[in-house]
């Protein structure tokens, strides 16, 4: 019986993946039941986003993944949650590197379309201080937690487990596909959006594996979402938000503009973001950032019986 759960004195990777997924699903279900039982308003009503519930749900999703990861690691391993890429080393440099690259893709996309006559960009002169307080700032907070939630879920502990189970190449492919599928239920989702999201999700996984840091891709992801929606006014994964500084609109066929899903489902956005992430990967290879977390993307040594690994890590 022990062999079913334990291999080389460690809980088998498949059971750790299953436990992580089970806890995320369980806590999510409990939150949903509690939300409805307490009579809290839905995130959307007739297609219109309700700001407060939407922002709160983003924070809760982040906490659910963080708690699920902590419990799984606490039960099955002997290391801390900081070893999944949430390291303090070089965190400022990671943030300062991730932010401009996150801004670069939507900025290059809108510039390309604008110069080719396929985009209009207008300053949102109707934006008031009240809009900033009740819409722009809350959604700014939402995107920080929402980006952290997605990075922890897809490129945190789960990525490490897939690397351990399948090797780096297949782990990157699997995580990319899961990231694309997770966005496939959003309004206006199509095959181009799926392929773009999957490819870029895979490239972000490569960055995490190479650096051992989630902080960098978290900063990239948050900057991408915030600049796209709250600065340029684009749809993000099919969601249109209020309170943007500008209103940018792309013109042309859906495969050119991304349709209802947003510009990230366009051919141009796919090519530009892929090139941006490849450039970032090349820079990181030339000027590597080595985090403690990177050790856990390498083959994990066998744990000898009686060895207290908590002191080693």
Instruction: Scan for tokens 């915030």, then name that residue.
Output: 226
Q: Tell me what pLDDT residue 301 has.
A: 44
Q: What residue numbers bound the domain in which 129 lies? A: 7-312
- Examine residue 89 and state whether it is found in any structural domain, yes or no: yes
- Of 66, 93, 110, nearest to 219 (Cα)? 93
In this structure, is residue 262 part of a structural domain?
yes
Token representation of residue 112? 């390309």
State how many domains the chain has.
1
Other C-beta atoms within 10 Å of 186: how many?
18
pTM over 0.85: yes
250 assigned to some structural domain = yes
Would residue 301 count as lying in a domain?
Answer: yes
Confirm if 108 and 224 have CB atoms less than 8 A apart.
no
Average pLDDT over residues 8-15: 82
* Residue 1 located in a structural domain: no
CA 74 → CA 16, 67, 69, 81, 83, distances in Å? 11, 10, 8, 9, 12
Residue 156 lies in a domain: yes
**Per-residue pLDDT at 305:** 47
Whether 202 is in a domain gets the answer yes
Tokens of 256: 């050119």
- pLDDT mean over 230-236: 86
- Please give the torsion angle defined by the CA atoms of residues 210, 213, 94 and 155, in that order, rounded to the nearest 10 degrees: 90
Pick the closest to residue 186 from 152, 150, 159 (CA basis).
Answer: 150
pLDDT exceeds cutoff 60 at 255: yes
Residue 2, domain member (yes or no): no
């Amino acid at each position: 019986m022990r062999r079913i759960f334990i291999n080389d004195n460690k809980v088998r990777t498949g059971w750790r993946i299953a436990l992580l997924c089970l806890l995320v699903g369980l806590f999510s279900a409990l939150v949903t039941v509690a939300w409805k039982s307490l009579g809290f308003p839905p995130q959307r009503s007739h297609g219109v986003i309700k700001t407060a519930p939407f922002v709160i749900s983003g924070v809760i999703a982040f906490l659910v993944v963080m708690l699920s990861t902590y419990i799984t690691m606490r039960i099955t391993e002997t290391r801390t949650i900081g070893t999944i890429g949430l390291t303090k080393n070089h965190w400022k440099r990671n943030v300062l590197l991730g932010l401009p690259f996150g801004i670069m893709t939507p900025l290059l996309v809108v510039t390309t379309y604008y110069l080719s006559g396929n985009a209009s960009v207008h300053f949102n002169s109707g934006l008031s201080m009240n809009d900033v307080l009740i819409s722009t700032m809350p959604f700014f907070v939402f995107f920080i937690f929402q980006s952290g939630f997605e990075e922890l879920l897809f490129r945190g502990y789960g990525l490490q487990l897939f690397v351990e189970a399948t090797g780096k190449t297949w782990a990157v492919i699997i995580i990319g596909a899961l990231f694309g599928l997770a966005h496939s239920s959003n309004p206006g989702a199509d095959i181009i959006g799926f392929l773009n999201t999957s490819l870029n999700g895979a490239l972000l996984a490569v960055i995490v594996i190479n650096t051992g840091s989630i902080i960098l891709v978290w900063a990239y992801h948050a900057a991408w979402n915030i600049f796209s929606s709250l600065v340029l006014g684009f749809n993000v994964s099919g969601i249109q938000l209020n309170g943007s500084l500008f209103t940018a609109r792309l013109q042309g066929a859906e495969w050119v503009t991304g349709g209802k899903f947003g510009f990230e489902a366009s051919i141009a956005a796919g090519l530009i973001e892929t090139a941006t992430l490849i450039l970032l990967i090349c820079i990181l290879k030339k000027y590597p950032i080595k985090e403690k977390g990177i050790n856990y993307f390498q083959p994990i040594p066998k744990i000898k019986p009686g060895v207290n690994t908590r002191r080693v890590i």
